[in-house]
Structure formats: C-alpha cells, structure tokens
Copies of this chain bind each other. A is one copy, B any other.
Amino acid sequence: MSIIRTLTLGAVKASKILAVLEESIKNQVLLAMALALREEKQYILTANEQDLTQATQNGLSSSMIDRLTLNDERIEAMASGIEVIAGLADPVGAERVVSERPNGLQIRKMRVPLGVVCMIFEARPNVTADAGALCFKSGNAVILRGGKEALISSLAIAKVLQDVLEKFDLPKELITVVPDPSRDLMFELMQQRDSIDVIIPRGGEGLINFVTDNSKIPVIQHFKGVCHLYIDKEADLKVAMDLLVNGKTHRTGVCNATEGLLVDKSIAAEFLPKVAVKLKEKQVKVNASADASQYFSDATVIAVEDFGQEYLDLEIAIRIVDGVDEAMAHIDRFGSHHTEVICTKNELTARRFQRSVDASVVMVNASSRFSDGSELGLGAEIGIATTKLHAYGPMGLESLTTEKYLVMGDGQIRA
C-alpha cells in the first residue's frame, strides 16, 4: 500500500473512534496538548532552527522566513489558542427538530463530524497546532500537508500532539503530517475521495487554484479579499472616517483589509478633502476615478476596469458613485464575495445593502477588519470560504461538521 493510502485509511479508522468521544474527554486531551506544547518548547524550537537554517541557505524572502519562524511567544500563542478551543462549545451531537409527521414519525437532525479533513498549507508551522486542535474538537481526523519549508517544525509539533493522544489511548493517526512534501504525493492525496471528506487549502490564489483543478475531493475555497467600504449620503462622516482608516491601515497584508472606497456623489465634496488629508498623513497611495482624483494632490487616475485590485498594502482605490445602487453594481462587478461594508444612518438603506450584496460578510457601520472567526464570535477559525457550498465566510467548529437525520418511530410502514 502506498504511503498516502496507509495514511488516509489510518485517519478514517481513527476518525470513527473520535466521532463518538465524549466532549469532556476531548477537552482534557486539548488541555494536555496545550501543556505539552509549553513543556516541549525547546524540542519544537530546535526543529524550527533546522527549517530556518535550510530557509536561509535557500535564500527565502524575509517575509517567508518571518512566517516560518517560531519563538517563545508564538508557541505560547499556539498553546493558549488550543485552550480557547477546549473552552468552545462542542457542535457534535447537537440536535434540532425538523418535523413531526402526521403518521407520528419524529424527524430530527444531529450534528456529526465530517470525518477526515485535509489541510494543504504553505509555510506557517502553527497551522499544525491550530488546525489539529480545531479538527480534534469537532471530531475529525486531520491530515496536514504543509510546505516543505516548514516540514521539520510541523512534524515536531505533530509529534508533541500525538504523544498526548497516545497517553489518552487515542490513535495518533488523528493528527497526521504528510512526511514527504513532494508534489506527486500531494497529487495522490487529492485523489483519495473514498477516505478524505474535504480539502481546505490555506495560501495564495495559485495554491487554491492548483488544488481545485486537481482535487477529486470537495475543496473549500478562499480566494482573495477585495473588500469595499461604501459611504452613503446619510452616513455619519466621523464614523465613515474611522472605518476607512481602520479598514485600510490597521493591517494591510490581510484579506479583510479595505481595498476600495465608494463615496456617494452628494457628500463627495465634503468628505473627500478630509479623506485626502487623512490618507496623506497615513501615507496611503490613492488610485481614483477622474472625478474623485480632483480632491487629492497626488492621486493616480485609474480607468473603471482597473478597480478591483487586492493591494495588500498602504494603497486604495476611490470612486464616486450615484447612490447605493451604483455602489452595489460596483461591488457586484469588482467584489470578491469576502466582506462588504456600508456606512449609513438610514436603516432601510442598510437593510437593502445587506440583503442584496452577495458577500460572505455584509457589515453596517463596522470595520471590515472584524471579518474574522474570533471577532465574529466563532472562537477560532479554520478558514474563510468565499464560495458558497457547505460554508460561506469565516469557518468555525460548526463548519467542520454536517447534520444527519434521526427518525424515531414505533413501527410505521409506508402505505
């Protein structure tokens, strides 16, 4: 049997034991994992040193090396992240009533784990602990296929978690790191549709497309975040400025940063000069439609078809629009189904925007930066889906489960 086949069938077998494990035991295991990460810190850091030496020799970029680097603080963050997950409600086993039929049948639904989750990610070794804990709590076995740059670190973290599993007489196959990061094995992994229930890739658009194109298993896709902030004619302009500055400059290299500003034409002359001052102060490069550019001393004028960029930097696109309808048309054309924000005091306009805009998160008077599992109250996040099947938007524990039907009868037969 191939290494991939051994590994995925082992995960299936292990997942069946975990699927029916009591929540209290799962939480004990998670707390022990957090403790073990702290106790085995030196072991993990030593492994990480090897990855870093390799990375330096291979001339990796400084941002790549930053993502790869573990230190006391980051290991503590992994450990406390697992403690947070231990404290979250377990979705598995939750029931709801669907219907009671005229013949007396009681129909309910019960949440159950998906089974085996496969994460394909790039250089962040902490994904091993985060995804390992989220999948464990939600009753799923996980197969982690990380980039080769982080392999030694990932294997070390997994080893620490697996030792805890074995102490609790649980199969170590519940958390597996693919030990060989070759592309051939990744390809083989993506064909295992009888044993893997979902693939969640975490990384750039290239990775997501590669996985989607080659996987025979359903893929949860997270494409780019081109998030807009629309300032309505009935906006509180003080709030509008706060949302703009926070959305654009709080952190720039993230998918929930604000990349586009749409301003209603009736308030443009009042609002945009203030925006010009503020964005200059914050050193934000401005790209603007011709009519909007006149309010800026050094804006680059861009054509309509050049909107829709994900800058991931101190850079923004600004356009004047004729009311909420034109704003929604712009978002429909250039948005990425991630997060869209309206700033308005008019509740009817806000409702219309929320109902109509097709994005996984639609906000009223709040910064796009809140589009994140923790900030939305999910506790933690395994990914953000920008396509609609199974999950749409930030995915927490519940997204790692599905529902089966329970039918209770007393001898009913079909006539």
A245-264, CB < 8 A from B: 245-246, 250
Contact B411 A242 (CB under 8 A): yes
Q: Could you say how many copies of this chain the assembly holds?
A: 2
A217-258, CB < 8 A from B: 218-219, 236, 238-239, 242-243, 245-246, 250
Q: Write the nearest CB–CB distance from A237 to chain B, whole angstroms.
A: 11
Is A153 engaged at the interface, CB distance under 8 Å to the other chain?
no
Q: Choose one: B107, B250, B376; the contact of A99 (CB below 8 Å).
A: B376
A362-415, CB < 8 A from B: 362-367, 369-371, 375-378, 387-394, 402-414
List the one stretch of A25-33, A109-117, A319-327 in contact with chain B.
A109-117
User: Helix, strand, loop or mixed for chain A's interface?
Assistant: mixed
A335-361, CB < 8 A from B: 350, 354-356, 358-361
Contact B198 A363 (CB under 8 A): no
Contact B114 A388 (CB under 8 A): yes
Mark each residue of chain A from 155 to 183: 1 if its CB lies under 8 Å from any CB of chain B, else 0.
Answer: 00000000000000000000000000000
- A391–B109 Cα gap in the complex (Å)? 12
Q: Which residues of B contact A360 (CB under 8 A)?
A: 404-405
15 example contacts (A-B, Cβ-Cβ < 8 A) are as follows A19-B356, A101-B376, A110-B354, A114-B389, A218-B219, A218-B390, A246-B413, A250-B414, A361-B406, A363-B406, A363-B409, A365-B408, A367-B412, A369-B414, A371-B407
